[in-house]
Structure 1
Amino acid sequence: MRPSLRLGNVAGIPVGIHWSALLVIALIMAVLGTGVLPAAVPGLSQGLYWGVAAVVACAFFASLLAHELAHALVARRLGVRVGSITLWLMGGITELDGEARTPRAEAEISAAGPLTSLAFAAVAGLVLLVPHSPLLISSAVAWFALVNAVLGLFNLLPGAPLDGGRVLHAFLWWRYRDRSRADRTAAQAGQSLGMFLVAAGVLQAVVWSPVGGLWMVLIGWFMTGAARAEAFARSARSGLTGLRMRDVMTSVPDLAPSWLKVDAFVATVALRSRQSVFPVVDFSGAPVGAVSLETISALTPEQRAETNVAQLARKLPSDHVVAPDDPAARILDLSVEPAVLVVENGHVTGLVTPADFTRILMQASLRSPPRDDAP
């Protein structure tokens, strides 16, 4: 997931926030400021309620970040590279550049987050034992403790993509000595758990709380879809084992010379090609970006006659330029939009477009996954 706002680095790990996380912060402030705190301690000013609610919302946001940082720091200690952390509507995502090498390492990485949330709940519970604390503060701390406890325990439920699902995966991997079998079983558990939450949410919406029930339905629906997507991604990653980019790319793609006028490029290349995306190259043959038929078709005939291809070229991120001998599984960690260029000795030798990416995933899922006998 791409963050909407970069917050900087924590312990050398890029941290960002998706815009949907701001909705969660606003919702927490609204629930506390207009419901929980006024009900617990009536008669105070609205400004005081909202001020305390804002502090608690920020503290909860910090606890979410600590949850994800725990995953990241344990992963890094165990030799797994960490790409970034993004906080969003459903909590947070820690992107790892690779997978744990052993079941034990996977279990430690997965359990670190929920245990951190439970630790926050325990510390907040100890704060409640302080005598003569203002009732408003005690109510806010109690809510903070409860939410972190629920977050920690919920994440330990045994179904992908929850942390508990990954702990389950680690156990099954150790038990079966077959990572692919563990992948399938953990994914099935996640889908079953998601469907159960959807059913429970519908029941809750009908007999008790419509808002709470709909929220549970949303979580269950997300879990079911995420479990399916994770199962497919794991299957594809297994199917790409041992393959290089040269094995999956479109070889010797048609190129878009940056110095040509767009109408000349259309006449000499685009109309004769089966591609929908073209690497843009300079006079030396080095890539400078990519251009799509969609972008070109948005121009009027007059604009095509006046515009150079270079002006339409979309610059690619550095990780979208790879080498022929790079592992093919690397593309699973990229968006592939608008394309991934395969470059050798400074020249484009291959191309992977979103359409190619879909084909690669389908072909990878059809390959027999290798048996994994790691202890």
Structure 2
Amino acid sequence: MADSAPRGDESGPARPGILMGRPFGIPVYVSPTWFVVAIVITVMFEPQVAEHVHRPLSYVVALAYAILLYASVLLHEIGHSVVARCFGLPVRAITLHILGGVSEIEQEPRTPGREFLVAAAGPLLSLVLGAAGYVTLVLVPLPAVAVLLIQALTIANLIVGVFNLLPGLPLDGGRIVRAAVWKLTGRQRTATVAAGWAGRVVAVAVLILGAVLSVSGDGGRWLTVIWAALVASFIWVGAGEAIRVARIRDRIPLLNARALARRAVRVPQSTPLAEAVRRAQEAGAGAIVVVGHDDDPLGIVSETAVIATPEHRRPWVDAASLTRTLDPGMILPADISGEDLVAAISRAPASEYLLVEPTGELYGVLAAEDISKTFARA
């Protein structure tokens, strides 16, 4: 299973996975959950292999199938990523996990046509791999074990390709639906919400299908139900997240750093924290900026650190000791807004940002918390 939605920054918190390589310069991570799935696949596939290969070599062949299966998923994701890069969309990483994989593309395609091509690339590649496997089986004489492996991989790629074309987010078919609705309506948000609700319908259908198969099947009924529930929950959550993100994106154009800024009071480096807080309260300011001898800003006092400092210790703590040094990315123009503001804070994550006028004069402080509150109302 795969999807290719925009994701978090690779430079953020440590990823829950092992870096396996960088094909086309794209970091590929394997989640620890993959090893659990690999063991399950190996155990389930081994009895078929054992009909052609003696144990314990049969387990090695079965494990090879599990690895090749996820290699197919990786190629599926590379299909998304390569096409995205052709349109100038940065790809942060590819992650393989228990349900397949995900391509972490930084930005949304700017047109429905590009959306369609990026979404369709993965399933198309999977279907091509499945077709290539079928042709190989028909035209090339192979040993029994090779036939077994290629048959399994052919079926798996065809299933992956067809499944991902189901018409609902977060699946690739959902992105194709979004591209179609976007093209018809000219409204990306409407398209996303429609594809998200379609995804919820698909999730319910998968759950019902799993229940029906479990009743009609001869064995593995509970495994069928559990797997169907797992897949359905993945689709349902992903669809809901897509709808929520669409609502959030509606608020992005309304973001304005100047409107969200907190008034800031300047204090020298040696100012006790108690005195700095008193000055801020007296001035009705919501932030404290530490300045040097030439009155240039050196850092912003962390609001979290101030709250964590007991009042009886504040007279003995310098405000400068609770500041974060101003990195270049933490200094933003006061007039920044919308997508530019979101991009700026994504490049340099911080709790506070210094806002300056075009003349270089300090305007105020922008707190990430205030931006989050704006999005939380979505």
Deviations 1:29-56 (A, max 9, x none): x234322132343374444233223333
* Partner amino acid, structure 1, of 2:123: P
User: In 2, are the aligned partners of 1:287 and 1:348 still within 8 Å (CA)?
Assistant: no
**Equivalent residue, structure 1, for 2:365:** 350
**Equivalent residue, structure 2, for 1:120:** 129
1:161 aligns with 2:156: no
* Partner amino acid, structure 2, of 1:11: F
CA shift for structure 1 position 66 = 2.2
CA shift for structure 1 position 167 = 0.5
* Partner amino acid, structure 2, of 1:66: L
Q: Secondary structure, in 3 states, of the residue corresponding to 2:102? A: strand
Q: Number of residue pairs matched?
A: 354
CA shift for structure 1 position 195 = 2.2
CA shift for structure 1 position 210 = 1.0
Deviations 1:187-237 (A, max 9, x none): 211111122223333444566421222121122122112212211212221
CA shift for structure 1 position 11 = 2.5
**Equivalent residue, structure 2, for 1:221:** 233
CA shift for structure 1 position 110 = 0.8
The 5-angstrom pairing of residues 183-222 of structure 1 reads 183-205=192-214, 208=217, 209-222=221-234
Taking the aligned partners of 1:280 and 1:328, their CA distance within structure 2 comes to 25
1:26 aligns with 2:41: no
* Partner amino acid, structure 2, of 1:293: T
1:11 aligns with 2:28: no
Change in 2 beyond 3 A, CA 1:310/1:101: same
Taking the aligned partners of 1:86 and 1:318, their CA distance within structure 2 comes to 31
CA shift for structure 1 position 113 = 1.0
Change in 2 beyond 3 A, CA 1:358/1:301: closer
User: In 1, are the aligned partners of 2:84 and 2:91 still within 8 Å (CA)?
Assistant: yes
Taking the aligned partners of 2:63 and 2:153, their CA distance within structure 1 comes to 12
The 5-angstrom pairing of residues 26-45 of structure 1 reads 26-28=36-38, 30-42=39-51, 44-45=53-54
What RMSD, in angstroms, separates the aligned Cα atoms of the two structures? 4.1
CA shift for structure 1 position 300 = 8.7
Change in 2 beyond 3 A, CA 1:302/1:279: closer
CA shift for structure 1 position 311 = 7.0
Taking the aligned partners of 2:273 and 2:56, their CA distance within structure 1 comes to 60
* Partner amino acid, structure 1, of 2:202: L
**Equivalent residue, structure 2, for 1:238:** 250
Larger radius of gyration: 2
Q: Secondary structure, in 3 states, of the residue corresponding to 1:98? A: coil
Taking the aligned partners of 1:25 and 1:153, their CA distance within structure 2 comes to 25
CA shift for structure 1 position 135 = 2.3
**Equivalent residue, structure 1, for 2:297:** 285
* Partner amino acid, structure 2, of 1:161: P
**Equivalent residue, structure 1, for 2:262:** 251
CA shift for structure 1 position 131 = 4.8
Deviations 1:74-125 (A, max 9, x none): 1222343434433333333333333222221111111011111222222233
Taking the aligned partners of 1:207 and 1:100, their CA distance within structure 2 comes to 43
Change in 2 beyond 3 A, CA 1:65/1:105: same
Task: Using the TM superposition, name which of 89-98 and 251-260 deviates more.
Answer: 251-260
Task: Using the TM superposition, name which of 153-162 and 129-138 deviates more.
Answer: 129-138
Change in 2 beyond 3 A, CA 1:287/1:114: farther
User: In 2, are the aligned partners of 1:157 and 1:164 still within 8 Å (CA)?
Assistant: yes
Taking the aligned partners of 2:289 and 2:58, their CA distance within structure 1 comes to 57
Task: Find the partner of 1:177 among 186, 196, 206.
Answer: 186
Change in 2 beyond 3 A, CA 1:44/1:225: same
The 5-angstrom pairing of residues 128-139 of structure 1 reads 128-129=137-138, 131-139=140-148
Task: Find the partner of 1:71 among 73, 80, 88.
Answer: 80
Taking the aligned partners of 2:266 and 2:208, their CA distance within structure 1 comes to 52
Q: Secondary structure, in 3 states, of the residue corresponding to 2:166? A: coil
Q: Secondary structure, in 3 states, of the residue corresponding to 1:350? A: strand
Q: Secondary structure, in 3 states, of the residue corresponding to 1:27? A: helix
TM-score by length of 1: 0.75
* Partner amino acid, structure 2, of 1:22: P
Q: Secondary structure, in 3 states, of the residue corresponding to 1:153? A: helix
Taking the aligned partners of 1:308 and 1:130, their CA distance within structure 2 comes to 79
Taking the aligned partners of 1:110 and 1:231, their CA distance within structure 2 comes to 18
Task: Using the TM superposition, name which of 325-334 and 209-218 deviates more.
Answer: 325-334
Taking the aligned partners of 1:155 and 1:110, their CA distance within structure 2 comes to 10
**Equivalent residue, structure 2, for 1:341:** 353
TM-score by length of 2: 0.74
User: In 1, are the aligned partners of 2:34 and 2:96 still within 8 Å (CA)?
Assistant: no
